[in-house]
Amino acid sequence: MDFQLTEEHLMIQKAARDFAKNELLPGVIERDEKMIYPAEQVKKMAELGFLGMMTDPKYGGGGMDTISYVIAMEEISKVEAGISVVMSVNNSLVCWGLETFGTEEQKQKYLIPLATGEITGAFCLSEPEAGSDATSQRTTAIDKGDHYIVNGTKNWITNGNSASVYLVIAQTNTELGHRGINALIVEKDTEGVTVGAKENKMGIRASDTHSIMFQDVVVPKENRIGEDGFGFKFAMKTLAGGRIGIAAQALGIASGAYELAVAYSKERKAFGTEIANHQAIQFKLADMATEIEASRMLCFKAAWLKDQNKDYNMASAIAKVFASETAMRTTTEAVQVHGGYGYVKEYHVERLMRDAKITQIYEGTSEVQRIVISRSVLR
C-alpha cells in the first residue's frame, strides 16, 4: 500500500489547479448566473488533455490512470462543477465506452476527435419516463437491415447542445426486455435530431443540459456499439465507471467549499477574535476535513480497482454516495461558516452548495447507489 501521489500525479494536480484558478475562477460567477456554456474554457481544457485523460494515446488520449482523472476532477470541481461535468461525461461515459466496447472503425472515426477534445460527446440514457428505472426505455431503434430508425425523446442530456456525437440507448426488441436494448452512435447533425431548450437548473448552470428529440433518425448499423442487445449492459458498465468521475466531482465541490471556509474563518472576527478561535467553528472544519479525506480515499480506491482491472462496481457506488453526501453537508456548513456573506454570490460557497445537490442525483441517485451496494453486500 502506498498513500503517496507519484510525481506525475502531482504534476497533473498542479496543472488542473492552475487551470482552475487562472482560467475558470475569473468568470465562474457570471457563467453560473447567466447559464453561459464555457466553450472557450472547454477548448483550453482540451488543449491540456483533460477531455480524454484515460484514453490510449493511439486514439488521441493521455493514457493516464483513473487516479489522475480523480485528481484533475477534484481540482477543477473545486472551482467550477459546471465545466467538470463536461469533462466527466466526455471522459468516463463517452470515451471510455467507445474505447472499451467500440469497433476499430468507430474508434478511428469518433474516439480520436472526442479524446483530443476536438469535439465533445453526450450520453443519452434518461427519458421523461425512464430515469432510475433505465430498463423502461421508450425510445425505439427499429432494425431495418443495414440501419436503425430511431424515434423518441431523451431528457436531461449533459452536453446536449454542445456535443457533436451522442451515444443513444434505445429499445430494439420489446419482447426481450432489457436484452433488446441497443447503444448507437448518433451524429448530432443527422436529419431528424432536434435539441430542446436549455434547462434552467439549480446548479452546474454553465453546463448545457437539454432534452433531445429523435424523429425517424437513420443510424447505420455500423454505429451500433457491441452485439445486438448489448445496449443496457453497455450503459450499466459505463455508468459504473462514470460514478468515479461524479464522486470526484463531489469531492472537489466539498474541498473547494472547505478551503474557502478555512480561509474565511481566519479572517472574520466576531466577539473580538477570529471566528476560527470559536470551537463551534473549529468542529465544523474538523468534520469537513474528516469527511473530505474519507471521500478522497474512497475515490482513490475505486479508481485503483478500475486501473487494476478488478471489480469496482460496489466501490464506485460507495465513493459516489459518500462523496456526494459529504458535498451536501460540507457546502451547507461552509455557507454557515460564512454567515450572511455565505448567502451571496461573491463568496462562491452558495454556488458550491447548489452545485453539490446534483451529485446525489445524476449517474444514479443516492438511493440507486444504495441498491447497488446492498446487492453486492447480500450476494
Q: How far apart are CA 278 and CA 271, in angstroms?
A: 10
Q: Which residue is nearest to ligand FAD (CB)?
A: 131
- Closest contact distance (angstroms) between CB of 107 and ligand FAD is 22
Q: Does 123 bind ligand FAD (CB under 6 A)?
A: yes
Number of CB atoms found within 10 A of residue 75's CB: 25
Residues 299, 305, 306, 310: is their CA dihedral positive or negative? Answer: negative
65 or 363: CB nearest ligand FAD:
363
Q: Mark residues 79-118: x for contact with ligand FAD by CB under 6 A, - for none.
A: ----------x-----------------------------
Half-sphere exposure of 12 (CA within 13 A, CB side): 22
Number of residues that bind ligand FAD (CB under 6 A): 21
Catalytic residue flag (residue 363) = yes
Residues 239, 243, 244, 250: is their CA dihedral positive or negative? Answer: positive
- Closest contact distance (angstroms) between CB of 277 and ligand FAD is 40
Q: How far apart are CA 256 and CA 202, in angstroms?
A: 18
Looking at residue 224, the DSSP 8-state letter turns out to be B
- Closest contact distance (angstroms) between CB of 58 and ligand FAD is 27
Q: How far apart are CA 313 and CA 301, in angstroms?
A: 12
Which of 15, 192, 365, 373 forms a contact with ligand FAD (CB under 6 A)?
365
Q: Does 282 bind ligand FAD (CB under 6 A)?
A: no
- At 220, list the grid cell: 447505420
Q: Residues 40, 199, 363, 367: which is the catalytic one?
A: 363
Instruction: Using CB atoms within 10 Å of the CB of residue 233, give its burial: 0 to 12 exposed, 13 to 18 middle, 19+ buried.
Output: middle
52 or 342: CB nearest ligand FAD:
52
Which residues 165-204 are close enough to bind ligand FAD by CB under 6 A? 201, 204
Q: Does 358 bind ligand FAD (CB under 6 A)?
A: yes
Are residues 161 and 208 in contact, defined by beta-carbon separation less than 8 angstroms? yes
107 or 205: CB nearest ligand FAD:
205
Q: How far apart are CA 251 and CA 326, in angstroms?
A: 8
Just list the catalytic residues: 363
Residues at the contact surface with ligand FAD, assessed by CB under 6 A:
89, 122-126, 131-132, 156-158, 201, 204, 209, 358, 361-363, 365, 367-368
